[in-house]
Structure 1
């Protein structure tokens, strides 16, 4: 029996969130912090569902949980910066994933051309204006139009795999 036939014959019905997370977690992703400056100061969130979407026009995408209290505040600003975290920035990733905390406490940053925080030490940053949002089930799919960006190419990215940060020998920043 061919692999595709075997896969079809072993269909088990509805996919549980736990099983989906387990299988899709096999795919390694980078980690970013999406940031903006709102009326109360800088705001940001950690995200691992970031990707380049289009070269012409220049677009990027990410998905954010519908339960996020930070995304609506960033949406209201209308522009944001995607900060691609470096391998040695695990603590920063964790800091921006916490609810209710001052996520920018002790964080050095400078404003992007659109005014959003560019975090010190990141691999790269991408300055965007919000272009579209789409329903993505329990997430919102965000499309950003790229207005400016920069990267050093000298630092290695922070990676996430199977529910944890990935340590690869020789990949420290």
Structure 2
């Protein structure tokens, strides 16, 4: 097997939808997601773009014939990626690094604001630790992702909004940050 390429997952199946349905029952066709054709291969084959990024990798698992098989690894939504310095980053990668940087960080979330990376970290320890977290957060992001953090916001637990499926609502968090509604414990600007 050749090395896998990281990219958007496209699906071709007789069970693919031809569009989204609105609450009024009408079909809303999204030309950029449905009925898309590749520039190579069969020109009659229609594909649906999932909007998710992923890659295929050979696994150690065996299929019914006893051969090792390939597995699709879904990385996350293309809409959630952050574009900084012309490169795309997945928020969950940066957030995992931040959360691992200190035991007092309960949860973290990242987003961009005017080309700056903003890190919001929920503090589960004492407020005296808030100031100590800033260099830890900026260093871990620089070392592991080669990105400079523009703003670090330390908040109380439960400030990062989570939807009913357990997904972080980063755009709601960004809106609250811009509206100065986070009630932070500490904010550090690195501009």
TM-score w.r.t. length of structure 1: 0.27
- Structure index of larger Rg: 2
Q: Which one has more relative contact order, counting CA pairs under 8 Å at least 6 apart?
A: 1
TM-score w.r.t. length of structure 2: 0.26
- Identify the structure with the greater helix proportion: 2
